[in-house]
Amino acid sequence: QIVAAIEQFISAKQQPELSWQGITLSITAGPTREAIDPVRYISNQSSGKMGFALAAIAAQLGADVTLIAGPVPLATPAGVKRVDVISAEQMHQAALKAAQNSAIFIGCAAVADYRMAEIAVEKLKKTSDDALTLKLVKNPDIIASVAALSQQRPFTVGFAAETHNLIDYAKGKLTNKKLDMICANDVSDPAQGFNTEHNAVTMIWPNGELALPAQAKTELAKLILQQILQQYQMVEKAKLLV
Amino acid sequence: QIVAAIEQFISAKQQPELSWQGITLSITAGPTREAIDPVRYISNQSSGKMGFALAAIAAQLGADVTLIAGPVPLATPAGVKRVDVISAEQMHQAALKAAQNSAIFIGCAAVADYRMAEIAVEKLKKTSDDALTLKLVKNPDIIASVAALSQQRPFTVGFAAETHNLIDYAKGKLTNKKLDMICANDVSDPAQGFNTEHNAVTMIWPNGELALPAQAKTELAKLILQQILQQYQMVEKAKLLV
């Protein structure tokens, strides 16, 4: 009994101060695919590993997690509710629905900015022309739509994956899209970011930033979640004081 | 000793009449990816499973197999030499090299017909415009290049993956690209073809055709290889008679 009490004491000490217990969290992950015709599509290098790591760790920490996943060959983390989507429009719909039932929303997916103006019903045939022009139109901006919710708006965290001027672009996105936080992710280095096991991000919020060095995505996920929760709880406390 | 002799006899009876022993075979498999910018690309639904199944079975049957694989998350079959490529231009180069050292070439990859006229060095930014136009140019036709080799030309087998007018298109490709055989593959049915475990094809050659019904890709691979080998050996015999 004494041993059990000591173990309980130690385990309580090891728990982070901030707990995700009972917090509803939605995360988007992976790429989207925009169909050109029945067999061809436009997509991107996102592997979904960062978003899946965030979902796995948050669920382990007690959060009630919904993971909205683009087409990636990854197993669903234990305890996570998964919604599979293909296109940006599908992800937009699923994300808005989940966001309105969440305290916190993390947009980690690499959503295609554009889709085909028209999807061909039959497989496009090669023509005698040497050139082909694809006409694209803008997709809905999912993270901006979530941040712009007038009712049931969650604490909204975005990701900015850039190859150049990373921090500048990320700060611009934070402001323009009215996000609460953004994780700036340099994807120009082949050793980190898209389709690797490691990553480094700089987390930016309206009055602060924190650089998290390169490490395994699961380790990084813990640090990102800790920072998000801390900032979320500060904002919630501030609301009560108003 | 008697048992061993009987086992050897039975095993000899079970072997197909035609053996792949010592035959050099090159196979392309999977999709290609055509970069738009450092993170975005154009690709297609091909999973590579059909080409990998052909490579696996051919190696089991004794062939000396080179597998030129687009970006797919599949394990290299036992005894197969694998060359990984991303784009159609890379696959073109690797395929021509392998083809000239092969008795038989099977073009099973779903090669992108078009690539970007120019690949952006930096990630493309969303513009204020609602539309974006991608200018594409034609990729080299890999299977036609192989079939057009004037020296060291292998027996050349293509695949035609179509959603409409399958047999007509396949016969057109057989003739126009001067192939020795083509496997016509209906990819309009979501239960077979791209990204599934099953497939059905119709094999077509200049003076015959054979419909192989829907079955597991590994089973289908055996039948396809048997038909290819039979036709290859008939053509080789005919050459000797000239």
To the nearest whole angstrom, how far is the Cα of B205 from the nearest Cα of chain A?
22
Nearest to B184 by CA among B164, B205, B155, B162: B162
Instruction: Judge: A123–B73 Cβ closer than 8 Å, yes or no.
Output: no
Catalytic residue among B44, B139, B185, B199: B44
Count CB neighbours of A82 within 10 A. Answer: 16
Chain B residues close to A35, C-beta within 8 Å: none
Under the phi-then-psi rule, with left for phi > 0, alpha for psi from -120 to 50, and beta for the rest, what region is B86?
A: alpha
Considering only CB atoms, A162 lies closest to which of B112, B123, B126, namely B123
Q: Who contacts A149 (Cβ-Cβ below 8 Å, separation ≥6)? A: A96, A99, A100
Element (H, E) at A25: strand A24-29
The phi, psi pair for B12, rounded to 5°, reads: -65, -40
Chain A residues close to B163, C-beta within 8 Å: 38-39, 122-123
pLDDT tens, position by position, A142-169: 999 999 999 999 999 999 988 889 999 9
Mean pLDDT of A52-75: 97
Question: What is the DSSP code string of B3-67?
Answer: HHHHHHHHHHHHS-SS--TT-EEEEEESB--EESSSSEEEEES--SHHHHHHHHHHHHTT-EEEE
Query: What is the Cα–Cα distance from A160 to A157, expressed in whole angstroms?
Result: 10
Q: What is the pLDDT of residue A114?
A: 95
Least confident of B58-62, B145-149, B196-200: B196-200
pLDDT tens, position by position, B78-125: 999 999 999 999 999 999 999 999 999 999 999 999 999 999 988 888
pLDDT tens, position by position, A137-148: 999 999 999 999
CA pseudo-torsion sign A118, A119, A122, A124: positive
* Residues in chain B, overall count: 242
Query: What is the Cα–Cα distance from A180 to A100, expressed in whole angstroms?
Result: 16
Chain A residues with CB under 8 Å of a chain B CB are: 36, 38-46, 73, 110, 112-114, 117, 122-124, 126, 130-138, 161-164, 187-188, 194
Query: What is the Cα–Cα distance from B158 to B167, expressed in whole angstroms?
Result: 13
Q: What is the pLDDT of residue A147?
A: 98
Q: Which residues pair with A210 in a beta bridge?
A: A203
Tokens 């920490």 -> residue: A61
Instruction: Judge: A41–B38 Cβ closer than 8 Å, yes or no.
Output: no
Chain A residues close to B38, C-beta within 8 Å: 163, 187-188
To the nearest whole angstrom, how far is the Cα of B44 from the nearest Cα of chain A?
4
Taking all residues of chain A, what is their mean pLDDT, rounded to a whole number?
91
Query: What is the Cα–Cα distance from B75 to A104, expressed in whole angstroms?
Result: 38
The phi, psi pair for A37, rounded to 5°, reads: -150, -170
**pLDDT grade, residue B241 (50/70/90)?**
confident
The phi, psi pair for B162, rounded to 5°, reads: -135, 155
Taking all residues of chain B, what is their mean pLDDT, rounded to a whole number?
91
Distance of CA B168 to the CA centre of its chain: 19
DSSP state of A194: T
ipTM value of the model? Answer: 0.84
Instruction: Judge: B40–A112 Cβ closer than 8 Å, yes or no.
Output: yes
Query: What is the Cα–Cα distance from A50 to A72, expressed in whole angstroms?
Result: 12
Chain B residues close to A39, C-beta within 8 Å: 44-46, 110, 161, 163, 187, 194
Query: What is the Cα–Cα distance from B83 to B92, expressed in whole angstroms?
Result: 12
Q: Who contacts B178 (Cβ-Cβ below 8 Å, separation ≥6)? A: B144, B147, B148, B156
Mean pLDDT of A11-15: 50
Mean pLDDT of B47-63: 96
Q: What is the pLDDT of residue B242?
A: 74
Rg of chain B, C-alpha, whole Å: 20
Mean pLDDT of B127-133: 82
Query: What is the Cα–Cα distance from B109 to B96, expressed in whole angstroms?
Result: 14
Q: What is the pLDDT of residue A129?
A: 77
Query: What is the Cα–Cα distance from B112 to A8, expressed in whole angstroms?
Result: 59
Q: What is the pLDDT of residue B164?
A: 87
Chain A residues close to B162, C-beta within 8 Å: 123
User: Which pTM does this prediction carry?
Assistant: 0.86
Whether the Cβ atoms of residue A113 and residue A173 lie closer than 8 Å to each other = no
Crossing angle between the packed helical segments A217-241 and A49-60, to the nearest 10 degrees = 60
To the nearest whole angstrom, how far is the Cα of A48 from the nearest Cα of chain B?
14
pLDDT tens, position by position, B172-226: 999 999 999 999 998 887 777 677 788 999 999 999 999 999 999 999 999 999 9
User: Is the pLDDT reported for residue B43 higher than 60?
Assistant: yes
To the nearest whole angstrom, how far is the Cα of A173 from the nearest Cα of chain B?
12
Whether the Cβ atoms of residue B228 and residue B180 lie closer than 8 Å to each other = no
Count CB neighbours of A101 within 10 A. Answer: 13
User: Is the pLDDT reported for residue A16 higher than 60?
Assistant: no
Q: Which residue has the higher pLDDT, A43 or B123?
A: A43
Whether the Cβ atoms of residue B32 and residue B85 lie closer than 8 Å to each other = yes
Q: Kindly report the CA angle at B195 between B190 and B196, in degrees rounded to 5?
A: 65
Active site residues of A: 44
The phi, psi pair for A239, rounded to 5°, reads: -60, -40
Instruction: Judge: A131–B112 Cβ closer than 8 Å, yes or no.
Output: no
* Pairing outcome for strands B131-138 and A131-138: antiparallel
